[in-house]
A and B are shown apart, each in its own frame.
Chain A
Amino acid sequence: MMSRIVRDVSRLTFPLFAMFGFYLVAHGHLTPGGGFQGGAIIASSIAMIMVAYGIYGLKEKLLSISELAGLFSFLILVYFGSHFAHSAVEEWFKLPVVGPNAGHLISAGVIPLMSIAVGFEVACGISIIVIAMRKGD
């Protein structure tokens, strides 16, 4: 538990950091970024709120279960993407024109879904590492 200033500033800026991380994860197929970078930014926002408020009340068991869920959804999406992508999710394939374009958020098939799964896993994993290092044994 830090001082009042640190707590208030981290509480006010936490939504901005988390929103930026989610933006990077969701727009991984259009702009620079993707699952890993966005997940790291979400984890850093969680670490910031942990520095300010202490670690009491964080549920690390829930975080590890959701990390496992992210990994398995990524596994399923790899299988799905390598077998059925071009036939089953054809409506997700709104192919943009070749060359420079503005981009459309719902496009590119399973790539955004895989990016979201990887972002989930990376955010939960780095949060678990930071919590374990802070808590000790």
Chain B
Amino acid sequence: MNKLVAALSLVIILTVLALAAVDLHPLGNPAHTEMDTYFLNNAQTELGANSVVAAIVFDYRGFDTLGEATVLFTAVTGVLMVFWGRVK
């Protein structure tokens, strides 16, 4: 019974995903490109970085990267706690 419900929900999720995949707008022409056009046009004159992805990761969205580094540090701390932490 439990397994039947799981299988049914999996089939429903797969159907919805397949319908969404057929219905999405075609690959190759995204809908909104204003922000990315700004980044592509101004990354060199504002920051001097040739790689626009590096400019976004480290400057335009620098606080995102700070949070990401914090997440990695927290994961390392968690692994160390799991392996070498004292119980008492």
Direct contact of A and B (CB under 8 A): yes
Q: Which of A12-20, A50-58, A101-109 contacts B (4 or more CB under 8 A)?
A: A101-109
Which one, B51, B62, B69, B83, contacts A29 given CB within 8 A?
A: B51
Which residues of B lie under 8 Å from residue A132 when comparing CB positions?
79-80, 83-84
B10 at the interface (CB under 8 A from A): no
A87 at the interface (CB under 8 A from B): no
Q: Decide if the interface of chain B is mainly helix, strand, loop or mixed.
A: helix
Write out, one digit per residue, whether chain A residues 35-50 have a CB within 8 A of any chain B CB (1) or not (0): 0000000000000000
Which residues of B lie under 8 Å from residue A32 when comparing CB positions?
51, 53
Asked if A78 and B50 make an inter-chain contact with CB atoms under 8 angstroms apart, the answer reads no
Write out, one digit per residue, whether chain A residues 100-121 have a CB within 8 A of any chain B CB (1) or not (0): 0101000111110011001001
Which residues of A lie under 8 Å from residue B65 when comparing CB positions?
74, 78, 114, 118
Q: CA separation between A63 and B65, bound complex, in Å?
A: 21
Which residues of A lie under 8 Å from residue B84 when comparing CB positions?
132, 137
B66 at the interface (CB under 8 A from A): yes
Q: CA separation between A126 and B57, bound complex, in Å?
A: 20
Q: How large is the interface on A (under 10, 10 to 19, 20 to 34, 35 or more residues)?
A: 35 or more
Asked if B54 and A121 make an inter-chain contact with CB atoms under 8 angstroms apart, the answer reads no
Which residues of B lie under 8 Å from residue A98 when comparing CB positions?
44-45
Contacts A34-B54, A132-B83, A136-B83 given: A111-B47 contact, CB under 8 Å? yes
| B→A interface (CB under 8 Å) | 44-45, 47-51, 53-55, 57-59, 62-63, 65-66, 69-70, 72-73, 75-76, 79-80, 83-84
- A-B residue pairs in contact (CB < 8 Å), sample of 9: A30-B50, A32-B51, A67-B76, A71-B70, A78-B66, A94-B48, A101-B50, A121-B73, A128-B76
